[in-house]
Chains A and B, each alone.
Chain A
């Protein structure tokens, strides 16, 4: 019961701040709202006993990505005062499409019978996750590391000032 209540609260926070991200006309406000979304999702992970995942979500997204976005906003001059001003047509179109999409997805998700999964009663140990990464999921892990290497080089190149 308490869990259900917590779920609805966190889900509502996530949803409302997601709408806030989109609806806000000021980019800084959007960024702050994003914090709410990401944090809300992290809390949902906690509720699912996925502690490690929740921690990663907080550290990487809320701690890393979001800060990066705010820095980006601050460092590019004028940005904090940029105000999005969509035309009426754009707003109407976006709303219609979003509603249709949301309806469709909801119909799908609700109308479908989901196979029963095995509920996790206790949070898996970090060690288990690590073992999995280096055994069963070794290939994706290595592939991701190659990807990160390449992307790092690329990012460094793009960020490097031109002489």
Chain B
């Protein structure tokens, strides 16, 4: 019976080389399993769990770095139809997985530092470390999937894989009421948006009979975009918009950021956004990769631009009155997602210049992302250290920080001014690239919105700087772990360097990354995994 079944089925096994190219994904999935098995073997040991997660992260990052720099042949395959790959692991996705796994390692370090600094629920944290790391690496795996696929079904699965563990992480402090509330809200929003997203996907499938974005794009190119296609795309994109917290799908963000513990907030503010934007970039680029489809995408892109403008503005305005630093940074992260979406919204524009030249917008997003990662890591790191020392995350805990711990003060001030986008910091340079890209795309109104928002944001960022340096406080000096101080100092140094000496390098690096994206996703550039047919088996 079994034999007969096997004989009747075209058995398909990916080659060893293909499996190797999928290394980053294997590595993350394997880390999850390793954490669980280690718990079986050595019991609930938080050190072991953390060490495995760190090792897994480092290993994945190494694999990805090799993938980025080694010029690995992009992998696209494991698919029902030869030209419609389920997974696309190319240099572009390697780059994003690299960011995610580096961040995984850093946040794990932060988690350990929190233990040493004596967070209130320390014992519970130690005990539940295994579950924590399973969820944590699990969400990283989901994010990695998000950036390495161009199939609607896989995208939905990936977004779910990234979201579901995040819900658990947000509510991980069970005894903490706001955490439970945040988690619940997160779940509800996630459920609604993914329902809308699946609905959109079904509309698209119904129209094109395919789940592959490239094919959908070709079809849009040949028959134009119908209203239904547009709505389907919108509805589908809402799932992604939820991940990058674009208005009006951002409501979960402040509550979750405030309720979750600070490592998780850091994680969600950066990794989730990076994965979401990577996916968004890929979708927008794929949908407009032919001249006709690009033209058809005009209206969709325009709507994305409007959404970006609203996101930015609402994020900045809402941050005005916040006194909780985590909440404030949540709104700031919404605003920054808005800036990045602005660039995403002009990817569709056809370019006259030679093929293979990256669109300035995509490299602007990537550069922005890199600097944004550094800024947020350092800013949240400082907030975390202040929290560990004072037990508060509100603005008044920052009063006189510049004198209570000069190093943290300087780092925070650097981050804040970079978040505003003042020269000569990285935040300025990347914003400058972004505005240049918008200018090239002649979206002048969007430039005005961006500049106006920058001015707005100055107000609330400067408020923190003001509290740190000009408000007297006779509180005790802030004691912070040396490693943590070193880490945030490095981030601040990187922010300064990326705005000065390495501004050119940052640009060329992100140009290269977006060239990867373009090179890999050309319809002809795909390397499709070979799939033996039933005939060749015999």
Contacts and interface: CB of A to CB of B under 8 A. Distances in A.
The answer to whether A and B touch in the complex, with CB atoms under 8 Å apart, is: yes
A162 interface: yes
B131 A157 contact: yes
A154 B168 CA distance: 6
Interface string B103-138: 000000000000000000000100010010011001
A143 B165 contact: no
Interface string A122-146: 0000010001100111111001101
A93 B145 CA distance: 39
B171 interface: yes
Contacts of B29: 146
Nearest to A152: B134
B267 to A, nearest CB: 15
Contacts of B171: 158
Nearest to A132: B80
A149 interface: yes
A109 B78 CA distance: 33
B406 to A, nearest CB: 41
A143 B227 CA distance: 32
Interface in B163-197: 164-165, 167-168, 171-172, 174-175
B255 interface: no
A59 interface: no
Which of A111, A132, A154 is packed against the most chain B CB atoms within 10 Å?
A154
Interface string B266-302: 0000000000000000000000000000000000000
A139 B153 CA distance: 10
Interface residues of B, number: 45
With a 10 A CB-CB cut-off, give which of A111, A136, A162 has the most chain B CB atoms.
A136
Given A135-B12, A153-B134, A157-B128, A147 B157 contact: yes
Nearest to A111: B227
Interface in A85-116: 105, 108-109, 111-112, 114-115
Chief secondary structure at chain A's binding surface: helix
B100 to A, nearest CB: 16
B63 interface: no
A108 B80 contact: no
Nearest to A105: B231
B160 A157 contact: no
A114 B202 CA distance: 13
Contacts of A115: 207-209
A111 B32 CA distance: 48
B228 A139 contact: no
B231 A108 contact: yes
Interface residues of A, number: 31
A139 B135 contact: no
A140 B145 CA distance: 10
Contacts of B227: 108, 111-112
Interface in A37-74: none
A154 B161 CA distance: 12
A146 B209 contact: no
Interface string B135-158: 100110110010000000110011
A162 B160 CA distance: 27
Given A117-B209, A135-B9, A158-B174, A150 B231 contact: no
B36 interface: yes
Given A115-B207, A162-B174, A150 B154 contact: no
Contacts of B161: 143, 146-147, 150
Contacts of A137: 80, 86, 153
Which label, helix, strand, loop or mixed, suits the secondary structure of the B interface? helix
B472 to A, nearest CB: 42
B184 to A, nearest CB: 11
Contact of B164 (A105, A140, A151, A156): A151
Contacts of A139: 78-79, 86-87, 154
Contact of A150 (B145, B164, B209, B228): B164
B249 to A, nearest CB: 16
A25 B78 CA distance: 49
B225 to A, nearest CB: 12
A112 B226 contact: yes
A156 B207 CA distance: 40
Contacts of A143: 145, 154, 157-158, 161
A147 B174 contact: no
B248 interface: no
B264 to A, nearest CB: 13
B86 A150 contact: no
Nearest to B10: A135
B481 interface: no
Contacts of B32: 146, 149-150
Interface in B74-89: 78-80, 86-87
A138 B529 CA distance: 14
Nearest to A145: B29
A140 B157 contact: yes
Contacts of B226: 112
B206 interface: yes
Interface of B: 5, 9-12, 29, 32, 36, 78-80, 86-87, 124, 128, 131, 134-135, 138-139, 141-142, 145, 153-154, 157-158, 160-161, 164-165, 167-168, 171-172, 174-175, 206-209, 226-228, 231
Given A108-B231, A139-B154, 7 more contacts: A114-B206, A115-B208, A132-B80, A138-B12, A147-B138, A153-B138, A154-B135
25 contacts: A112-B226, A112-B228, A132-B80, A135-B11, A135-B12, A138-B78, A139-B78, A139-B79, A140-B157, A143-B145, A143-B158, A146-B138, A146-B161, A147-B142, A147-B157, A149-B138, A150-B139, A153-B36, A153-B134, A153-B135, A154-B131, A154-B134, A154-B167, A158-B168, A162-B174
Kindly list the 6 A-B residue pairs having the minimum CB-CB distance in the complex, ordered from nearest. Answer: A150-B138, A136-B80, A154-B168, A157-B131, A139-B86, A112-B228
